[in-house]
Amino acid sequence: MLRTVFLTLVTLAIAVGGGTASVWQALQAREGVGTVTIGSWTAYPSMGAPDADPYSKARAARQGLLALGRAEGIAFFATRDAGGAQLSRKCSYRIEGSAPPARFWTLYAADPSLRILAGDRHRKPALQSLDVLRNADNSFAVAVGPHAKPGNWLSVAGSGAMIFVLTLYDTPVSGSIGVEDVELPQVLRTGCDG
């Protein structure tokens, strides 16, 4: 009798513990169920849709995100540079290329819990499509790092990991043309302090 109770408790502990660990792992992963990866960037295209998969809904709820619906826009997250290295606030980066068609877009650096990083207190913590200096072919280059750069510069300070967030608003990418077919800017590491 005691053996049966003990085995039942062990089985329940393994089931509950294993289930909890697998859900935690799935929610921590930046890639997997419901994601689309393009270069350094990852998106969750169905996160704000009524038919979103349970993991996308759980990610939005856990992180406190106001997820955009398919007709409203889409957010792309970069945690690694083009070489595959983890993004760090002690390093400088260059985000270059063009943004997919959108009425408006924003670009900012965030900590791993997606809180915006404010570097220099005299600078705006985010760039937007209306303020970015562009080349003749409509491409742009944004310097990101702790040291001021001429042109488009996104200031970050401190130490630890960071994430770049590129959000496209009112864009055909989130609805009709498909997320997999877009071209996104490259994230290139240009140097590190220490």
pLDDT digits (tens, 9 = 90+) for 126-173: 899 888 999 989 899 999 988 888 889 998 888 889 999 998 888 777
Residue 76 has which token pair? 């792309």
Residues 23 and 82 in one domain: no
Residues 98 and 180 in one domain: yes
Integer Rg of the chain from CA:
20
Cα(154)–Cα(24) distance, integer angstroms: 32
Residues 25 and 98 in one domain: no
Provide φ and ψ at 17, rounded to 5°.
-65, -45
Domain that holds residue 14: 1-30
Residues 61 and 100 in one domain: yes
What's the pTM value of the predicted model, to 2 decimals?
Answer: 0.77
Residues 124 and 162 in one domain: yes
Residue type, 117: L
Residues 81 and 100 in one domain: yes
Give how many domains the chain has, as a whole number.
2
Which tens digit of pLDDT belongs to each residue from 160-176? Answer: 899 999 988 887 776 54
- Give pLDDT, residue 125: 79
Residues 38 and 26 in one domain: no
Cα→Cα distances 78→32, 82, 111, 136, Å: 15, 10, 11, 26
The answer for residues whose C-beta is within 8 angstroms of residue 120's C-beta and 6 or more apart is 148, 155, 157
Residues 115 and 176 in one domain: yes
Residues 132 and 172 in one domain: yes
Residues 142 and 123 in one domain: yes
Mean pLDDT value across residues 68-77: 77
